[in-house]
Amino acid sequence: MRIAIIGFGAAAIGFIESLKESNHEIHVFEKSKDIYSTSISGIRADGKLFVSEAMGGDIEIDIRLQQQMVKFWMEAVDEHSVEKGHSFTNRKYFNSFYEKGFLPVTSDFYHLGTDQLKKVLYHIYENFKKLKHVHFHFQQKIENIQVKNDKVLVNEEDEFDKVYVAVGRSGHGLVKKIINEYPELIQDNTKVDLGIRYELPDHIVEDLNREMYEFKVKYKSRTGYMVRTFCNNPSGFVVTENYGDFVTVNGHANHKKKSHNTNFAVLTTVQLTEPFNDPVGYGSHIAKLSNILAGQDKVILQTYDHFKRSKRTKNLYRVLPTLDENAFIMGDVNLAYPRRIIESIIDFIENLEEVIPGIANPDNLVYAPEIKFYSNRINNDHFDQLKFMGDCSGATRSITYATGHGYMMGKQLK
Ligand SMILES: Cc1cc2nc3c(=O)[nH]c(=O)nc-3n(C[C@H](O)[C@H](O)[C@H](O)COP(=O)(O)OP(=O)(O)OC[C@H]3O[C@@H](n4cnc5c(N)ncnc54)[C@H](O)[C@@H]3O)c2cc1C
């Protein structure tokens, strides 16, 4: 069979890995210039792999397959040097959060680090390149996909028996085009995660960082919204993420170069009902509003005390930001965020203070906007010859799940 994969990220990697020994002619089209390009894949920052049934995507991926995927990634790391952790396997920590109303999420973590990721991706690519039936085409942005009888036409000229779209989130333009043409592919699109990135000195969360590297908890706030921690980075750095027409915050940690601060996201899941059908539009407008207040391409920084009291921050005290000083303006997040979101976040942090003293210190730092978009959930049963895998399918949100999804898709083909 002649197969095209659009995008070379985690899902494509899982897919090719599962078809290493097949006879299918596989063509990979990737819009980035080459494997070293900073625009390639979501696998270029942080690289925290986790094994969990409770997070990472909305599909079931067997724990053994998740472990196999993590092993595959770790084998591509020089000397297999990674930081590891287990969240909430220790009953003492589980109970202390549970008692105060939190839902602890159990998982195993393996942190590769931003500084190691480039090489990891390169090693994997070099191995795949040796396969005679796999052909890489870089600098090939796919703009158009059309189903023609039992074939699929790519960029109006190249015909394939099957096409696997694996463009992640950065490929939302292509997915939007496809679903405009085939709206019956959409299963669900009502969710968006809005929140902040929170930063505080390492010593406040030292025990938790040492014990589990990443503590993931959920909490039903008094507003009714579910709030959760996401992407904890011990001794990490806050960075901005440019979406083209707006900028958000994110966090990461290196394997070697460390800071003295820990950062993590506090996210509120907003799920709206009909006639609402544009979660990306909703989230983007809030992000743009924050950027307007902060000045072009900048985000807002505020102390936690001022965030609570809706007061503009003008000075900092003991906690200094790890984000580049040219990337933020000190301001007031309350001018951009809906009240219910702010109240949910404050309720979450105040309750967390009861478990981790110092979490709600007035001079801890709040950055906004932090937004996580969910891709439309795609119905993969609709076409036999056109499939979506990884984050662009709406079924995954992590490296482990995207790789696993690609792997399972490949296995189904055999
Ligand atoms: C900054 C950042 C940090 C992250 N950190 C973590 C983490 O620590 N742990 C974790 O589990 N997850 C993390 N994620 C999420 C994770 O990267 C994704 O869940 C995962 O990479 C999804 O895999 P994918 O194959 O679906 O897409 P991707 O890995 O994003 O790959 C998609 C590829 O498609 C290409 N592409 C897009 N459009 C086109 C087109 N039209 N034509 C051709 N090629 C195209 C892109 O260039 C890209 O290389 C992070 C994401 C980001 C953005």
Alpha carbon distances (Å) from 365 to 11, 37, 238, 319, 348? 35, 32, 11, 7, 15
The candidate with the shortest Cα–Cα distance to 219, out of 367, 55, 347, 51, is 347
Q: Is 165 in the pocket of ligand 1 (CB under 6 A)?
A: no
Per-residue pLDDT at 255: 86
pLDDT 10s digits, 1-14: 999 999 999 999 99
pLDDT, mean of residues 195-210: 96
Mean pLDDT of 390-399: 94
Mean pLDDT score of the chain, rounded to an integer?
93
Q: What is residue 221's predicted lDDT score, i.e. its pLDDT?
A: 97
52 Cβ below 6 A of ligand 1: no
Tokens of 147: 């189903």
pLDDT at position 185: 94
What is the distance between the alpha carbons of residues 235 and 260, in angstroms, rounded to a whole number? 5
What's the pLDDT tens digit per position in 81-129? 788 888 888 899 999 999 999 999 988 989 888 888 888 999 999 999 9
What is the predicted pLDDT for the residue at 414?
A: 62
Question: Structural domain boundaries of the chain?
Answer: 2-77+112-188+377-413, 191-373
Cis peptide before 275 (omega within 30 of 0): yes
Cβ atoms within 10 Å, residue 203: 12
Residue 167, ligand 1, Cβ within 6 A:
yes
Taking alpha carbons only, the member of 234, 205, 240, 203 closest to residue 318 is 203
Atom of ligand 1 nearest to the CA of 174: 41
Residue 247 pLDDT more than 80? Answer: yes
Residue 277 has pLDDT above 80, yes or no: no
The alpha carbon of 29 and the centre of ligand 1 are apart by a number of angstroms equal to: 14
CB neighbours of residue 149 within 10 Å: 6
> Has domain 2-77+112-188+377-413 been given CATH number 3.50.50.60?
yes
- What is the percent of the chain with per-residue pLDDT over 90, rounded to a whole number? 76
Residue ID of nearest Cα to ligand 1 atom 13: 398
pLDDT digits (tens, 9 = 90+) for 337-389: 999 999 999 999 999 999 999 999 999 999 999 999 887 899 999 999 999 99
Question: What is the position in ligand 1's atom list of the atom closest to the CA of 239?
Answer: 1
Q: What are the φ/ψ torsions at residue 72 (nearest 5 degrees)?
A: -60, -45
Q: Is the CB of 10 under 6 A from ligand 1?
A: yes
| Residues linked to residue 188 through DSSP beta bridges, in sequence order | 377
Greater pLDDT, 64 or 255: 64
User: Ligand 1 within 6 A of 394 CB?
Assistant: no
Q: What is the pLDDT of residues 13-62, one digit of tens each?
A: 999 999 999 999 999 999 999 998 877 777 878 888 989 988 888 899 99
Within its chain, how far is the Cα of 342 from the centroid? 22
